[in-house]
Amino acid sequence: MISFTTAEQALHAPEHEFFRGQRVPCFENPTRARFVEDALRAHGHALRPPTADSAPLLGEVHAPRYLDFLRTAWDQWLALDAANAQVQPFPSVWPVRTLRSDVEPANFVARLGLYSMDNGSPMAAGTWAAAKAAADAAASAAHALRGGERAVFCATRPPGHHAGPDFMGGYCFINNAAVCAQGLRAGGAARVAVLDVDYHHGNGTQAIFYERADVLFVSIHGDPRTEYPFYLGHADETGAGAGQGFNLNLPLPARASVAAWFDALEQACARIGQHGADALVVSLGLDTFAGDPISTFALQAGDFTRLGQRLARVGLPTAFILEGGYAAAELGENAARVIEGFEA
């Protein structure tokens, strides 16, 4: 299986975030990708840099003014004060109900809030370079599948499935799964399915494709009544307009059993089969692992092999896009198990 990685991922290295009101070291950090890369190499997988430019696809999944902000945000931050090079910017105000979002504020922190769903996506000097490179890997995965590859893995960060059409959140800036799906559509796939198996609902991916019938979105995740991102991911969200019926959420309660999770996976695979997709994009969150520090599902190491085996039986060209997973020492091995299960 082709595996893409990026040297630029290490450039996105903010030092801290806020978790349950406390300032803590970032859970999403460069060591995550290194653990995955090391495990893949140990299992005999070759890694290569991206081969495609995602730029033509970015405007198909994200709003132009949001992309303009991302490209220039760090420079804007430094322009306020050169000392900001040592300071992480965080939003402190958001345009919630009754507030306007159509007018871009002149104040930088207000712009940061305009384009953020939370304060959980700390930025650093290399954030745009890392996010763009991860999107390039996703575009490269689509190109490889169009060229006849059976499967591709993107061992990249930052993740992407919480990034919506015009906002960042949950460590995500560019929606890599959406870029890959759009790349497949641009390359001639009539229908694409996106399956999100991260512990947290892929709210950004849902938002991007919610009114489209050509891209089916299916997500298995923790119940948003108790789990991030809280405000999306309920079972009654089934699509709108042309996309009615092309969005399937399968929320599970915290501490759901492994059996319940695989039952949901069967429902997901059945719906993907009904969609008649030409290709599958998997938002591969590995935070469903029992040892993950910020999630509560119970999958064990062998269950990731089983996941790969089940996805292989779907029988579609498949792109795996790394999303969450914060039990760093086990992250790489669990990623390798998915790949090896798929290839078995």
Residues marked as catalytic: 162
Query: Residues in the chain, how many?
Result: 344
The tokens describing 250, both together, are: 């399968």
Q: How far apart are CA 175 and CA 222, in angstroms?
A: 20
